Amino acid sequence: MHDISISQAIAETVLKEARDKKARRVLSLKLEIGELTFLSSEQIRFWLKELFKGTLAQGVKIYIKKILSLIRCKSCSYEGNMDLNMGLGDDSLHAYFPIMKCPKCSSFSLEIKKGKECLVKQIRIIS
Amino acid sequence: MEQIKAIKAEEGEIFDIELEEDLLKKNEELAQRNKRLLDKYKILAVDVMGSIGSGKTSLIKNLASQLKENYRIGAIAGDLTTTIDADRIKDEGVKVIQVNTGKECHLDANLIGKALKKFDLKALDILFIENVGNLICPADFPLGSHKRIVVISVTEGPWMVIKHPYIFLEADLVAINKIDLTKAMGVSPQKLTEDIYKINPTVKVVQTNCVKGEGIGEIVEGIRIKEYA
């Protein structure tokens, strides 16, 4: 996936903010990532560590909070989580991506209310 | 006497900055801005996605060739480093802007916004956007287009759809290309079509042979170009 380009965008956002605030160092970074983005926190952590080498944010503590999905079905008004294990019903393929349908009435007409976030929530800096 | 260097305590204070910056949402906002700009000039934008070698450029060439008599056509060609695709489409007399993404695996709304500035928007009816050859990443980065076409081909084998379902979710039309090679490949277009419908029951599926221009008329109908442009 595009975990590296997302990581670059995160790194740029963090470093720009740190420079604007005249930080000497960035101590910690809080991210919130929705489960429907299918971004891998392990890869993001890895790339951020690499990207921050030799910058103000080298060695920063990274906290990643996973945001669970929340959908609303436009047909039956079901509101709740999506079952991410709901694949194509074929065990020979471990469908990594779920089929986006309502767990109650199987409608495909859904509104995604949560789960697509990729949020740089907070940074802690020392001035 | 050797001078003793005092160790200075680290000055300054620690504080938290709330950023609340959603990076994917930022792309979506830029995509909406692109769409508003396109709507202002009444331009229909079609995002063409698909894997490497599936026939995205050929499809755009064919569509341009069929539509150029009645519409003014432009294209944005996304590629990692070359201008081969842009040159091929240009042969149809279409105004082409090349976007090289470098190492990026997809186009994003920001790049499209920049490319749009290079067009004379008053002189366009239809804009084709050829995405980078990739079935995975472009799905997450809307560009502001009105229609999304996914191109797959029978030469990619029987599992192409089922292995990359995500990109088909928001497609308006899927072209199954190189249909003339079906027999040689032993791949069933019917099975591919069934797989596509399982993921997205409302999508339109068209079989094409872009070398001979077969199925192109159906695509023009399928994405209802005439109603828009």
Chain A positions in Cβ-Cβ contact with residue B19 (cut-off 8 Å): 13, 17, 120-123
A1: closest chain B residue by CA: B137
**Do the Cβ atoms of A20 and A34 come closer than 8 Å?**
no
Give tens-digit pLDDT for B23-78: 888 889 999 999 999 999 999 999 999 999 999 999 999 999 999 999 999 999 98
Q: What's the pLDDT at A87?
A: 52
Rounded to 5 degrees, what are φ and ψ at B63? -65, -45
A-chain residues near B198 (CB < 8 A): 88, 99
The strand pair at B173-177 and B147-153 is best described as parallel
- The reply to whether B131 touches chain A by the CB within 8 Å rule is no
Residue B78 confidence (pLDDT): 83
Which residues contact residue A16 at a Cβ distance below 8 angstroms, ignoring those fewer than 6 apart?
Answer: none
Interface check A63 vs B, CB under 8 A: no
pLDDT at B88: 85
pLDDT score at B10: 60
Q: Which residues, listed in sequence order, are joined to residue B149 by a DSSP beta bridge?
A: B48, B173
- Which among B50, B34, B215 is positioned nearest to B119, based on CA atoms? B34
* Whether the predicted pLDDT of A27 surpasses 90: yes
Check residue B101 and give its pLDDT.
75
Across A95-99, B5-9, B108-112, the highest mean pLDDT is recorded for B108-112
Q: Are A27 and A60 in contact (CB under 8 A)?
A: yes
Choose among B14, B137, B159: nearest Cβ to A27. Answer: B14
Size of chain A, expressed as the number of residues it contains:
127
Indicate the range of A70-79, B5-14, B174-183 predicted with least confidence: B5-14
Q: Label residue B151 by pLDDT band (50, 70, 90).
A: very high
Model confidence band, residue A94 (pLDDT cutoffs 50, 70, 90): very low
CB atoms within 10 A of CB A114: 15
A–B CB contacts, 8 A cutoff, strictly below:
87
Is the CA virtual torsion B25, B29, B34, B35 positive or negative? positive
Report yes or no: B140 at the A interface, CB cutoff 8 Å: yes
Judging contacts by C-beta atoms under 8 Å, the chain B residues touching residue A117 are 22, 24-25
Tell me the pLDDT tens digit for each residue of B157-208: 998 888 787 788 889 999 999 999 999 999 999 999 999 998 888 899 999 9
Q: Which residue has the higher pLDDT, B104 or B57?
A: B57
Q: How far is A54 from chain B (nearest CA, A)?
A: 19
* b/e map B124-158, b = 16+ CB within 10 Å: bbbbbbbbbbbbbbbbbbbbbbbbbbbbbbbbbee
Question: What is the predicted pLDDT for the residue at B2?
Answer: 53
Residue B132 is predicted with a pLDDT of: 87
Taking contacts as CB-CB distances below 8 angstroms, the residues of chain A near B200 are 108
Which is more confident, A95 or B53? B53
The amino acid at residue A111 is E
The string of DSSP letters for B15-72 reads: EEEEEEEEHHHHHHHHHHHHHHHHHHTT-EEEEEEE-TTSSHHHHHHHHHHHHTTTS-
The token pair at B150 is: 């996914």
- Judged by a CB distance cut-off of 8 A, whether residue B212 touches chain A is no
Residue A92: pLDDT band (50, 70, 90) is very low
CA dist., res. B56 & res. A111, Å (int): 30
Residue B202 with chain A: CB contacts under 8 Å: 108
Q: How far is the alpha carbon of A118 from chain B, nearest alpha carbon, in Å?
A: 5
For A125, what's the count of Cα atoms within 13 Å in the CB-facing half-sphere? Answer: 20
A105 reaches B (C-beta below 8 A): no
CA distance B101 to B42: 27
- pLDDT value at residue A98: 61
Distance to chain A for B90, nearest Cα, Å: 30
Cα end-to-end distance, chain B, whole Å: 86
Which residue would you say has higher pLDDT here, B115 or B7? Answer: B115
Question: Is pLDDT larger for residue B100 or for residue B60?
Answer: B60
Q: Alpha carbon of B140 to those of A73, B23, B33, B50, B154: distances in Å?
A: 21, 12, 17, 14, 24
Neighbouring C-beta atoms of residue B80, cutoff 10 Å: 13
Q: At residue A75, does pLDDT exceed 70?
A: yes
At residue A96, does pLDDT exceed 60? no
Facing residue for B201 by CB, picked from A1, A9, A108: A108
Whether A105 shows a pLDDT value over 50: the answer reads yes
B25: which residues sit within 8 A by CB, 6+ positions away? A117, A118
Closest residue in B to A24 (Cα) is: B12
pLDDT at residue number A95: 47
Distance CA(B195)–CA(B200), nearest Å, equals 9
Strand order in the sheet with A110-114: A79-80, A70-73, A110-114
Instruction: Report d(CA B78, CA B73) in Å as an integer.
Output: 17
Tell me the pLDDT tens digit for each residue of A52-63. 999 999 999 999
**CB atoms inside a 10 Å sphere around CB B2:** 4
With CB atoms and an 8 Å threshold, state whether A126 touches B14.
Answer: yes
Confidence at residue B226, expressed as pLDDT on a 0 to 100 scale: 72
Q: Specify the residue for token string 């609340």.
A: B20
CB contact under 8 A, A116 and B24: yes
Average pLDDT, chain A: 86
CA B32 distance to own-chain centroid: 15
Chain A touched by B20 (CB under 8 Å): yes
Name every chain B residue with its beta carbon within 8 A of the beta carbon of A21. 17
Mean per-residue pLDDT over chain B, rounded: 88
Q: How confident is the model at residue B210 (pLDDT cuts 50, 70, 90)?
A: very high
Cβ atoms of residues A125 and A34 within 8 Å: no
